[in-house]
Amino acid sequence: MSQPGVIVIGGGIAGLTAAALLARQGVPVTLLEAHHQPGGCAGTFRRGPWIFDVGATQVAGLEPGGSHERVFRHLGIQIPEAEILDPGCEVDLADGSEPIRLWHDPEQWALERERQFPGSERFWKACLTIHQSNWAFAARDPIVTPRNGWDLQQLLGALRAGTVASGLLTGLTMADLQNLCGCAGDQRLRHFLDLQLKLYSQEPAHRTAALYGATVLQMAQAPLGLWHLHGSMQILSDRLVAAMQRHNGHLALRHRVMAIHRCPKGWRLTVDSPGGTQQLEAEDVISSLPPQCLAALMPEDLPAGYRRRLDQLPKPSGALVFYGVVKRDALPNDCPGHLQRSCDDPGPLFVSVSRDGDGRAPLGQATLIASVFTPTSDWCQLEEEAYQRRKGTMLETIRSQLNQWLGLDPSAWLHGELATPRGFAGWTGRPQGIVGGLGQHPNHFGPFGLAGRTPMDGLWLCGDSLHPGEGTAGVTLSALNACRQLMAKRGAPFTLA
């Protein structure tokens, strides 16, 4: 293997995007992926005739001006076939009230929330104002966590009066915003916010940054939207791989990075591969791994202060994910593609249901994926017998909840299996099977978060632990920022159209 100018570690959407963008700029780049296929948490797996999305089941950023659309257009990639989710989600508070539907049409959504949460319109208008300011700001490609003069110039160049005004809310949570807008007493609204925000920020309303939460709550509405891909989520990865290889980028599967060291040319990586242990060198390295991995990978070259910063990061969550298949005629007639329901045991469930003919299951059948957050240590520290027993119990608990919620007869099930943090650790290589990035608490959001430019020259970060957070659209932006910083360092800055 030739010695590349840049090595990208990790073949999820962030790493693939970074590698494709650099290859497009003419940079010799090799992407190292430990698994046998690219995609990471946005990949897929097959069970007989069924295809399951591993983690991510919906996509944002395919609309004109969205992060995926901008990057794909720059790379000359055709946007995958997809349909808008309308409603984007149906949220059942499990209190006997009618579910809340997140309609794509803003006027329809305004009527829905007025009916569901009377007296809260001031809060929703504040969210919309913040969202519009944030979205315009993000479209100017700022470096939100500046670490040198060039970064700061990009940030200042993206600021406008509205951005500065909304910046006054930087230290506030979504619960604070609810209080300021005079609807703090609406516990049903708080319950809804807790459920939705937990999906995107891994935090409830009283711990989610207002600037983050106000934006993600608007993602289902036009002119944006949430999308359901035909085929599977894997199509995003496949098209990024094709774009990277078209520009002479190299993808090395089953190549696990074991150590990173400084060397005269920049960085030397020790890599476990099918051909044995290899030593690869590069001037720059972009890591899309969780930043917590760096302590083990760089025992000698990680600065003490940065190591302390990483050690103090909040502990991310793990997930239990149930992958099932049911007869389609057993589902409710009006069953939406994405549902969320409050639940004490095992916790609030987020459910994705395939569409007939979308390639995930034979006609007349539907894949059904249900996920819930869980602490990782609870699963990764169990002895094998206790682990298998608990896994079986949780599988049946989740399936029982789905039977009750969707009115399913036990005979409707054609398949069912459960993935735990231990399984995700094996699939993704993430420490203890953590999912998503850092919780979007005000103390860790935006300018207070980790920067893509690390204190070590030539080592860059991207992924869901960087601004603007998790989700394929978010990690795409983090990859774009890392590539723009790297190319600026090399004297060849670039921007997307």
pLDDT for position 1 = 42
pLDDT for position 446 = 87
Cα-Cα-Cα-Cα torsion 332, 351, 10, 483, nearest 10 degrees, comes to: 90
Across-strand partners of 250? 30
pLDDT for position 4 = 58
pLDDT for position 435 = 87
pLDDT band for position 2 (cuts 50, 70, 90): very low
Arithmetic mean of pLDDT over the chain: 94
Predicted confidence (pLDDT) at residue 289 exceeds the cutoff of 60: yes
pLDDT for position 41 = 86
pLDDT band for position 158 (cuts 50, 70, 90): very high
pLDDT tens column, 387-400 = 999 999 999 999 99
Nearest to 208 by CA among 217, 221, 198: 198
Per mean pLDDT, which range of 16-20, 86-90, 272-276, 316-320 is the poorest?
316-320
**Regarding predicted confidence, which is higher, 13 or 381?**
13
Whether omega before 87 lies within 30 degrees of 0, making that bond cis, reads: yes
| Percentage of the chain lying above the pLDDT 90 cut | 88
pLDDT tens column, 104-146 = 999 999 999 999 999 999 999 999 999 999 999 999 999 999 9
pLDDT for position 290 = 93
Q: Token pair of 295, please?
A: 């302590």
In angstroms, the CA 368 to CA 81 distance is: 21
In angstroms, the CA 11 to CA 251 distance is: 9
Q: Token pair of 1, please?
A: 């293997």
pTM of the model: 0.95
pLDDT for position 212 = 95
In angstroms, the CA 99 to CA 89 distance is: 10
In angstroms, the CA 65 to CA 298 distance is: 38
| Percentage of the chain lying above the pLDDT 70 cut | 99
| CB-CB contact of 62 with 227 (8 Å) | yes
Predicted confidence (pLDDT) at residue 428 exceeds the cutoff of 90: no
At which residue do the structure tokens 């760089």 appear? 298
pLDDT tens column, 298-353 = 998 999 999 999 999 988 889 999 999 999 999 999 899 999 999 999 999 999 99
pLDDT tens column, 221-254 = 999 999 999 999 999 999 999 999 999 999 999 9
* Mean pLDDT to the nearest integer, 176-185: 96
Q: Can you tell me whether residue 285 is helix, strand or coil?
A: strand
In angstroms, the CA 372 to CA 358 distance is: 24
Per mean pLDDT, which range of 45-49, 179-183, 273-277, 446-450 is the poorest?
446-450
| CB-CB contact of 181 with 120 (8 Å) | yes
pLDDT tens column, 50-69 = 999 998 899 999 999 999 99
| CB-CB contact of 194 with 205 (8 Å) | yes
Residues sharing a CB contact under 8 Å with residue 367, sequence separation 6 or more, in sequence order: 50, 51, 52, 323, 324, 325, 353, 354, 360, 361
| CB-CB contact of 434 with 317 (8 Å) | yes
pLDDT for position 64 = 94
In angstroms, the CA 441 to CA 131 distance is: 17
H or E element, residue 110: helix 106-116
